[in-house]
Amino acid sequence: MGNMNGKVTLVTGASSGIGRATALAFAREGAKVVVSDVLADGGEETVRRIKGIGGEAIFVQTDVSKAADVEAMINKAMETYGRLDYAANNAGIDGEIAMMPDFTEDEWDRVVSIDLKGVWLCMKYEIPRMLESGGGAIVNTSSMAGLVGFPAKAPYVASKHGVVGLTRTAALEYSAQGIRVNAVCPGVIHTTMVGELLESMPEVIESLNKQAPVGRIGQPEEIAEAILWLCSDAASFVTGHSLAVDGGYVIQ
């Protein structure tokens, strides 16, 4: 506990699920947290939960697909806390399900703008501020769909593969300057979206559990702990890596 006292972290997509669990994990370790999401109610609730465990946090409403929003988010973090040490670029959407010819151009652009362009924009504005702070660590949320293909999810799969590529490139560009950049690749996780699916189709849980060798779906806190480790000094020799936290799905 308290291994990140005095540090400042940014977590995007932190209104629920993996983002909220990650924000709470950083707060538990003593970091001050900039909570970001396009959804204000959920983001403010995450801040309340952080303060409820004795942590310090602010909420900044942000659409990560818009450069002006991302720049304002980073500026607010610097104005409030004066530094930026860690970033978990987690904001993303799942998108529609369709075969490749059936996706509309608008849907392609929507998914890629949030899931891929959003990660690039976050790093674009985070990295210069981290350099001012003497270095830091960034973890981008990809997916097991960033490591293997999935049918009927072309924009999402392309975006998540792109996040892995961006992560490797940023690691090559900035690791020597003290900024480590890694990615986490979650499997099926019991987020709000999955929870809603299971409520409407409870029979799906058995098939989801069978997808991974461990025999179950994951919990947001399990991804949060991986992100926390990748940002921590315990992972000081790890950069440019895409860590699958998927119960063994991609090794099959």
Catalytically annotated residues = 156
Q: Would you say the C-alpha torsion 232, 234, 236, 242 has a positive or negative sign?
A: negative
Pairing of strands 86-89, 242-245: unpaired
Measured CA to CA, the distance from residue 228 to residue 131 in angstroms comes to: 20
Q: How far is CA 140 from the centre of its chain?
A: 5
Measured CA to CA, the distance from residue 23 to residue 39 in angstroms comes to: 15
From 15, 61, 68, select the one nearest 193 (Cα to Cα).
15
Q: Would you say the C-alpha torsion 82, 83, 86, 90 has a positive or negative sign?
A: positive
Q: Would you say the C-alpha torsion 14, 20, 25, 31 has a positive or negative sign?
A: positive
Q: Is 252 helix (H, G, I), strand (E, B) or coil?
A: coil
Residue whose pair of structure tokens reads 């942590």 in the numeric block: 55
